């Protein structure tokens, strides 16, 4: 699949007063069948120091970074990206569970088409694993300034199993080529939570890259947990 050695992937996830949730996410990463990666857990000044629990878990290839302030989703992920060593950056929520092949699958489109700048998997709800949360984004409504999600709240019957270009990636789980970030910049920090990925994807497309939905891999998401604690 890869023309030579596996590219380095930096997995970035944020933690804010959810260390046990983050540890559950890290437990799921033990099953990854991809070898060349690092995990950066970026703590946004949690009320309780997450260090003891993270260290106790002895999670492979994991580094805990203490930001010392709550930088929000955009700022927190930018904080991690500035420290990432990877050729690809995998932004992923801590309230998710990854599958063993998620990295391999999300990298595949980049090798199929070098013009692709970012990929997102199909996202389904953790407690309703046959219900879709994300299968791509529809174009933004020019009158309301809002986007709508393809497949949201639909029972998954395979109706959104065709990969293809989409309006935007989902901040819950998105694989970005580092060279794209270097050309377009990172998340806009004027957005504390929500819509930062829409702005980033807009700039990625303006730079000549495409945004790709890749349903060959699924991630499950608790959904809404970040909203409860990030502010």
- pLDDT tens digit sequence for 131-188: 999 999 998 877 777 778 999 999 999 999 999 999 999 999 999 999 999 999 998 8
Compute the average pLDDT of residues 59-71.
97
Compute the average pLDDT of residues 70-99.
96
Number of H helices, E strands in the chain: 7, 10
Would you state the structure tokens that stand for residue 1, as one six-digit string?
Answer: 């699949």
Question: Would you state the pLDDT for residue 194?
Answer: 57
User: What is the Rg, in whole angstroms, of the alpha carbon atoms belonging to the chain?
Assistant: 16
Would you state the structure tokens that stand for residue 181, as one six-digit string?
Answer: 């970030």
For residues 118 and 177, the answer to whether their CB atoms sit within 8 Å is yes
Question: Would you state the pLDDT for residue 223?
Answer: 72
Would you state the structure tokens that stand for residue 219, as one six-digit string?
Answer: 């991630």
pLDDT band per the 50, 70, 90 thresholds, residue 195: low
CA–CA gap between residue 148 and residue 141 (Å, rounded): 8
Indicate the average pLDDT of the chain.
91
CA–CA gap between residue 231 and residue 218 (Å, rounded): 28
Residue matched to tokens 């700048």: 117
Compute the average pLDDT of residues 31-50.
97
CA–CA gap between residue 46 and residue 202 (Å, rounded): 32
pLDDT at 13 over 50: yes
Compute the average pLDDT of residues 53-76.
96
Query: In this structure, are strands 116-125 and 88-92 parallel, antiparallel, or unpaired?
Result: unpaired
pLDDT at 44 over 50: yes
Question: Would you state the pLDDT for residue 231?
Answer: 30
pLDDT band per the 50, 70, 90 thresholds, residue 229: very low
> 3-state DSSP call for residue 6?
coil
**What pTM was estimated for this model as a whole?**
0.92
**Each residue of 202-223: pLDDT tens digit?**
999 999 999 999 999 999 999 7
């Amino acid at each position: 699949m890869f023309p030579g050695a596996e590219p380095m992937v930096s997995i970035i996830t944020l933690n804010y007063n959810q260390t046990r949730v983050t540890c559950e996410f890290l437990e799921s990463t033990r099953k990854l069948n991809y070898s060349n990666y690092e995990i950066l857990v970026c703590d946004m000044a949690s009320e309780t120091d997450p260090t003891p629990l993270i260290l106790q878990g002895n999670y492979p290839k994991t580094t805990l970074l203490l930001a010392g302030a709550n930088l929000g989703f955009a700022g927190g992920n930018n904080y991690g990206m500035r420290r990432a060593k990877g050729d690809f950056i995998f932004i992923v929520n801590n309230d998710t569970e990854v599958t063993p092949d998620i990295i391999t699958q999300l990298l595949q489109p980049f090798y199929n088409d070098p013009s692709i700048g970012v990929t997102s998997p199909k996202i389904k709800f953790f407690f309703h694993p046959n219900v879709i949360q994300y299968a791509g984004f529809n174009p933004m409504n020019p009158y309301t300034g809002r986007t709508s999600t393809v497949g949201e709240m639909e029972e998954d019957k395979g109706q959104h199993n065709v990969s293809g270009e989409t309006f935007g990636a989902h901040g819950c789980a998105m694989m970005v080529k580092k060279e794209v970030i270097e050309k377009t910049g990172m998340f806009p920090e004027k957005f504390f939570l929500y819509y930062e990925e829409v702005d980033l994807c807009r700039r990625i497309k303006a730079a000549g890259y495409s945004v790709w939905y890749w349903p060959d891999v699924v991630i499950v998401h608790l959904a809404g947990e970040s909203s409860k604690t990030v502010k």
